[in-house]
Each structure stands twice: as structure tokens, then as C-alpha cells.
Copies of this chain bind each other. A is one copy, B any other.
Amino acid sequence: MSAFAPTEARLDVTRAKYPDFPRGPAVLVRLIKHLFKEIHDEANALLRPYGLNHPEYNILMMLYGSPDNSMHPSALADAAGEKSANITRLTTQLCEKGYVARSGSDTDRRKVTLTLTPEGLALIDGFLPGIVTLLHKQTRNLTAGEQDQLEVLLKKMLAGFGE
């Protein structure tokens, strides 16, 4: 039935050996891992024809989510959840492909500005319809009300981190 059932069975075995292991929290964590993996894999499959992988897509979308289509590498690292060294590598690739442009800042010459090129914007316009379809597909089992509920609960859970 569900692909998650074996995970719950393993959890039962674990709890038989180690009764303190908390079922609820463990299930939630494993569900999130499973969902992340599914989301990640499906997005990767969709993006492959465009010559992009998931991290590259993320970077393009972070830039697209900025009013002027541009960000500094450190902000980008923060937004995309990548290490700054990785941002350098990924944005270099995107520059080489012509989707992103690097330019220096006048006010602070340490800073670098990364901006979507017209080609980058065109690429985004190209894959966004597929992404929209995918997003709807990935949440199709939830009603609008359930999506709202889920959003509230996930935000609440996330707020408990890093304190």
C-alpha cells in the first residue's frame, strides 16, 4: 500500500528494542526525509532536459524572487541553503551557461552582484509551466484547507529549530 509502511514497521522493531525511542517525532522526521527525497528527485527529472540540476534551479529561482533579479553570493547562500563555496561553483556554471552575470559593486568592492541575464529569464519562462504542474501534482492529495493546515504546522515545527 503506502511506501511508508515498511518504515513504520522498522520503527516498531526499534521501539521494541529501545522503548524510549519516540514514535511520533521519529515518524515525522522520516516522513520529511521521504518527502524531501521525492520532491528532489521529481524536480531533478523535470529539470534534466534543461541541463539543470536542483541546486542550479534553486539559485535561478532565488534570483527570480528578487525584485531586480539579482543578489549577492552570501545572500544567495543563505537563501538557497548552500555553502558559500558551493555558490561560487554553481554560479560559475550558470555564468558559463549564460544564464547569470557577475558584476562588481561600486559601494563595496568586496561584493559581487549576480543577476539573471535575458537568457536566464527566458530559461525560467521555459521551465516554469512544468514546475507549476509538478507543484500541483505533488500536493494534489491535499485540499486547499489541508494545505493551509499543513503549512501552519510545518511553520510551527520549523520555528522550534535553532533556538
Contacts and interface: CB of A to CB of B under 8 A. Distances in A.
Nearest to A65: B10
A151 B28 contact: yes
Contacts of A17: 64
Q: Copies per complex?
A: 2
Majority secondary structure of chain A interface residues (helix, strand, loop or mixed): helix
A118 to B, nearest CB: 14
Q: Which of A6, A7, A32 has the most CB of B within 10 A?
A: A32
Given A7-B79, A66-B13, A34 B160 contact: no
Nearest to A58: B33
Interface in A44-79: 61-62, 64-67, 79
A10 to B, nearest CB: 3
Interface string A149-163: 111011111111110
